[in-house]
Amino acid sequence: MTWSTYGAEREAAGKYIRNVELIRGWYDDHSSLPMADAAKFAKVTIPQFESVLDLIKSNPEMADEEIANRVNWRISQ
């Protein structure tokens, strides 16, 4: 693996973890913001948002990094 490949993978992983953090924050705050708007803000699809939300609900103790690793980020709308 080259350094540029490693750097790109780490950058993507960080983005996914931030997405999970945003979704967890939305869920924990019982936001009045509609899910579709929250997904748009997080720059994820509704299916991705729902996948993360399902993991958060069923495994509240799971770390954001682990959730980010388990979600299929290639799901399209």
The residue whose two tokens read 């799971």 is: 62
> Which one, of 58, 55, 76, lies nearest residue 66 by Cα?
55
> Which one, of 31, 34, 36, lies nearest residue 77 by Cα?
36
Q: ∠15-17-20 over CA atoms, to 5°?
A: 115
* Confidence category of residue 29, pLDDT binned at 50, 70, 90: confident
Question: For all residues of the chain together, what is the average pLDDT?
Answer: 83
Predicted pLDDT of residue 55: 95
Flag whether pLDDT at 57 surpasses 70. yes
Tokens for 2, please give them. 């080259």
Q: What is the pLDDT of residues 1-27, one digit of tens each?
A: 665 554 545 555 577 899 999 999 999
Query: Which one-letter DSSP state was computed for residue 74?
Result: T
pTM of the full predicted structure?
A: 0.74
